[in-house]
Amino acid sequence: MHGLAGSGLQPCGVVVKKKRMSWFFLAAGVAWLTAAVALEDSSGQETQDTVSGRTALLVKLDGPIGPATSHFIVQGLERARDEGHALMVLQIDTPGGLESSMRDIIKEILASPIPVVSFVGPNGARAASAGTYIMYASHVAAMAPATNLGSATPVPVGGDTPGEPIRGDDPEAKDVDKSEDKPAAKPATGGSAMERKIVNDSVAYIRGLADLRGRNADWAEKAVREGANLQASAALEMNVIDLVAADIQDLLRQIDGRKVKMGATELTLATTNLTLETHEPDWRTELLSVLTNPTIAYGLLLIGIYGLMFEGYNPGAILPGVVGAICLLLALFAFQVLSVNFAGLALIALGALLVVAEAFAPSFGALGIGGLVSFVIGSIILFDKDVPGYSLAMPVIATVAFIGGSLMFMIMWLFGRSRRRPVVTGAEQILHATAVVAADFSGEGRVRLSGELWNARSSVPLTAGQRVKVVKMEGLLLWVEPENKS
């Protein structure tokens, strides 16, 4: 009875101690969350109270255009508007990017209440593909020497497919009789129907931007249909851009006094002695820019597809399925198949499900770790600290991830500790166990083990009450030997 009572009291003490520790960690987590929210509110209030005077905001568009890039530029436009900057300078050096992201940027430029000046620079930069459309949409378009723009033909993700050229003149129509009594030859319709629809839509879009800003619409169509390119001086001569500037300071000097149309009104730019402020990308934007890079996004898409395929071919492998699901959601976000809201919510929901599944499936941490990664990335995508009402301090995300990770690793530790304990049931528990001889015997007799009588065999005579050790088990027969035998 004393042994049972003692063994029962010790776990109760451990439980009480664990409960106290749990309450301590819970209180610490609540305090951390409260401090994080207060810090976020105070920082947001400071940002809202900041107002600039005679300043211009510089936003740099470097690299491929994707969801993270468009979000960064839209942030810059909102900051320039909210802080009262005189104008925004968009410095461009891009090979192009996703059409949906490009259109998001252009919509914000067209709706901007302050002028947007696009500048392809520094020397050696380019505004290819989507960058050309953005140049045409800007209130002022400028280029540095030794820069170029063009190659605005839309291509599918992964590269273009071979096909006939899509152009406005048919090379085989030169011998057609063009007399007045016959209709004129129709433009060539090379490529598939879908390719023609995409190209014609892009042509109409860029011609509309050209007409809005009074720039060369015919060359814009040529850049889309034929992938034409222009360097800075040629672009100025053909009225594709407004001016050539050596650098941004030269640009601000040249556009001083220039008139631009802002909707139905005309605004005269006053750029003398403007102070230039730079809108720097935060670490969130840098991380999402890497994830949404077209090359990385395409790789994530392949990993996601093949990961789910491997999981389907080998049910229970778990790791390929977890990696595949996360990568596929990230790829759908990178290609803007899923919006920021849906992608972030999907990743958070997937992370929560994986962490819960870790407690019920023997995945050795694959589900739990994958769930934490999915939860953190989803939170970073979904919550933007610069959007009022949708901001979430990073300490909050870190706290929730830390608590979830701690619980997961504690469960894994408990599982590992239980695996190291000796077996307490079955034949493995009987081997090397200690039994007591029930009655004197030589050869075969009976022993008492765990309250049960077992048939036993020994090579030496044994006496009643003697303690013996089980060395072998054959069916229901135990081979025993004296416990103190050397």
Do 151 and 74 share a structural domain?
A: yes
Q: Would you state the pLDDT for residue 388?
A: 47
Domain count, the chain: 3
Encode 388-427: b = buried (16+ Cβ within 10 Å), e = exposed.
eeebbbbbbbebbbebbbeebeeebeeeeeeeeeeeeeee
Task: Name which of 60, 61, 63 is nearest 294 in CA terms.
Answer: 63
Do 151 and 240 share a structural domain?
A: yes
Encoded tokens for 121: 């620079």
Do 82 and 159 share a structural domain?
A: yes
Q: Would you state the pLDDT for residue 183?
A: 39
Answer yes or no: is 179 within a domain: no
Residue 169 CB-density burial (10 A; 0-12 exposed, 13-18 middle, 19+ buried): exposed
Q: Where are the alpha helices (DSSP H) in 226-339?
A: 232-237, 248-254, 283-291, 294-313, 319-334
88 DSSP β-pair partners? 57, 116
Answer yes or no: is 382 within a domain: yes
What's the pLDDT tens digit per position in 298-335?
899 999 999 999 988 888 788 889 999 999 999 998 88
Q: Would you state the pLDDT for residue 22?
A: 47
Residue 468, SS3? strand
Q: Would you state the pLDDT for residue 250?
A: 94
Q: Would you state the pLDDT for residue 450?
A: 82
Do 337 and 195 share a structural domain?
A: no
CA 122 to chain centre: 30
Q: Would you state the pLDDT for residue 423?
A: 63
Domain with 213 in it: 51-170+191-281
Do 208 and 116 share a structural domain?
A: yes
What's the pLDDT tens digit per position in 144-156?
999 999 999 988 7
Rounded CA gap, 215 and 236, in Å? 10
Q: Would you state the pLDDT for residue 43?
A: 43
Model-wide pTM > 0.75: no
Do 142 and 207 share a structural domain?
A: yes
Do 319 and 224 share a structural domain?
A: no
Q: Are 352 and 328 in contact (CB under 8 A)?
A: no
Mean pLDDT by 10 residues, the chain (486 residues): 36 41 49 48 39 76 89 91 93 92 94 95 94 96 96 74 45 39 43 85 95 95 94 96 95 93 88 90 82 87 92 86 92 83 86 81 77 84 58 66 73 73 69 88 90 90 91 88 76
Residue 394, SS3? helix
Domain edge (last residue) among 238, 254, 281 = 281
Answer yes or no: is 339 within a domain: yes
The dihedral sign for the CA sequence 380, 383, 100, 206 = negative
Q: Would you state the pLDDT for residue 119?
A: 97
Q: Would you state the pLDDT for residue 24?
A: 47
Rounded CA gap, 263 and 106, in Å? 15
Do 436 and 391 share a structural domain?
A: no
Q: Would you state the pLDDT for residue 106?
A: 96
Residue 126 CB-density burial (10 A; 0-12 exposed, 13-18 middle, 19+ buried): buried
Answer yes or no: is 88 within a domain: yes
Answer yes or no: is 26 within a domain: no
Rounded CA gap, 43 and 391, in Å? 11
The amino acid at 178: K
Residue 465 is part of a domain; what is its CATH number?
Answer: 2.40.50.140
Q: Would you state the pLDDT for residue 426?
A: 67
The amino acid at 372: L
Q: Would you state the pLDDT for residue 103?
A: 94
Taking phi first (over 0 means left), then psi (-120 to 50 degrees means alpha), and beta for anything else, what does residue 273 get? left
Q: Would you state the pLDDT for residue 335?
A: 85
Do 133 and 223 share a structural domain?
A: yes
Answer yes or no: is 322 within a domain: yes
Do 246 and 139 share a structural domain?
A: yes
Answer yes or no: is 39 within a domain: no
Residue 82 is part of a domain; what is its CATH number?
Answer: 3.90.226.10
Encoded tokens for 86: 């005189």
One DSSP character per residue, 193-223 reads: HHHHHHHHHHHHHHHHHHHHHT--HHHHHHH
